[in-house]
């Protein structure tokens, strides 16, 4: 199958791009195209106009802004994967990026495109939610910022205003010693869409007590979600297996897990608990090693 007929425009400025989107409700932004193009080929998406933002100045690059690291929407995933700044300041994102598609798709795929497309199985949105990051958008009517925990509303669906373009993604940075991360996912083959993905970041004091914790789950849900109650319950503990199991059990049991042709809700729920525990254990072990 091939895509339905569409028009294509490559605007020279962000202002031109937003006006094109405002004038056509069936227009879609194309960045790397690693999600949108296959969807068009399968006729799951049928835009009448593609607005290519790949060559608009100012939409690419990684910057350390102190309390957070920013990514221009057109920053390639491969650039982030190779970045020393990402490895040192955003270790959870660095752990997740090798799981994103394959090397050729990361060479073309963008940070902003992954977030804007809101695929439930996508790893970058999961990390953004887990770290409680945010995105910035621009439209003909102005600009705004949306917290990641409020951004996603369903599969391939976000709360960005109609006609808006995602321009920047902001990941908070955890400061101080004793930080560890863990990332795990289950799929049919490595780099396939995840049935379940889990992300965890913790910070321990020198006595091994957890002073900060954040856990997120993706793939199994309509959109990635942070587990705030479990994250809070683990603060002050030593993240033992019993601590972790106790904190995770009730919150994972209450999640609205998806069933589809790939995996049942019962399977995904069981795997979500196991992988979240594994991610937390990895994060604890790495944080302990950071104090040695």
The whole-number pLDDT of residue 77 equals: 97
Q: Which residues make up the CATH 3.30.390.50 domain(s) of the chain?
A: 179-290
* CATH no. of 62-171: 3.30.465.10
- What CATH number was assigned to the domain covering residues 7-52? 3.30.43.10
Identify the band that residue 156 occupies on the pLDDT scale cut at 50, 70 and 90: very high
Please give the model's pTM, rounded to 2 decimal places.
Answer: 0.96
pLDDT of amino acid 28 = 92
Asked if residue 199 lies in contact with residue 130, where contact means CB atoms within 8 angstroms, the answer is yes
What pLDDT is recorded for position 192?
79
Question: Where in the chain is CATH 3.30.43.10?
Answer: 7-52
The arithmetic mean of pLDDT across residues 61-68, rounded, is: 97
CATH entry, 179-290, from 3.20.20.20, 3.30.390.50, 3.40.190.10, 3.40.50.740 = 3.30.390.50
**What mean pLDDT, rounded, does the chain reach?**
95
- How would you classify the pairing of strands 49-52 and 7-9? parallel
- Tell me which residue of 21, 12, 10 sits closest to 141, measured CA to CA: 21
Q: Are 116 and 109 in contact (CB under 8 A)?
A: no
Average pLDDT rounded to a whole number, residues 4-18: 94
CA distance 4 to 47: 8
pLDDT band at 216 (very low <50, low <70, confident <90, very high): very high
Residue range 124-135: average pLDDT?
Answer: 98
Nearest to 271 by CA among 182, 181, 185, 190: 185
Phi, psi of 142 (to 5 degrees): 145, -155
Predicted local confidence at residue 34, as pLDDT: 84
Say if residue 292's pLDDT is above 70. Answer: no
Q: At what angle do helices 265-290 and 241-254 cross, to 10 degrees?
A: 140
Compute the average pLDDT of residues 64-78: 97
Question: What pLDDT does residue 2 have?
Answer: 84
């Amino acid at each position: 199958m091939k895509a339905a007929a569409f028009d294509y425009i490559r605007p020279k400025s962000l202002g031109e791009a937003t006006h094109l989107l405002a004038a056509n409700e069936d227009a879609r932004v194309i960045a790397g195209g690693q999600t949108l193009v296959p969807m068009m080929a399968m006729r799951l998406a049928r835009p009448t106009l593609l607005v290519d933002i790949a060559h608009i100045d100012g939409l690419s690059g990684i910057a350390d802004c102190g309390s957070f690291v920013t990514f221009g929407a057109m920053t390639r995933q491969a650039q982030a994967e190779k970045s020393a700044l990402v490895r040192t300041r955003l270790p959870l994102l660095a752990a997740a990026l090798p799981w994103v598609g394959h090397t050729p798709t990361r060479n073309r795929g963008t940070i902003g495109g992954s977030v804007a497309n809101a695929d439930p199985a996508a790893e970058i949105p999961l990390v953004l939610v887990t770290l409680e990051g945010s995105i910035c958008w621009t439209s003909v009517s102005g600009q705004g910022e949306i917290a990641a925990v409020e951004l996603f509303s369903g599969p391939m669906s976000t709360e960005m205003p109609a006609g808006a373009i995602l321009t920047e993604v902001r990941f908070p940075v955890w400061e101080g010693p004793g930080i560890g991360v863990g990332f795990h996912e289950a799929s049919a083959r490595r780099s396939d869409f995840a049935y379940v993905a889990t992300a965890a970041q913790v910070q321990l004091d020198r006595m091994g007590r957890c002073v900060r914790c954040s856990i997120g789950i993706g793939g199994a849900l309509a959109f990635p979600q942070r587990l705030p109650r479990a994250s809070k319950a683990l603060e002050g503990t030593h993240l033992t297996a019993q601590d972790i199991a106790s904190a995770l059990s009730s919150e994972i049991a209450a999640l609205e897990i998806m069933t589809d042709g790939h995996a049942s809700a019962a399977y995904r729920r069981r795997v979500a608990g196991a992988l979240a525990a594994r991610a937390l254990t990895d994060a604890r072990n790495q944080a302990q090693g950071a104090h040695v």
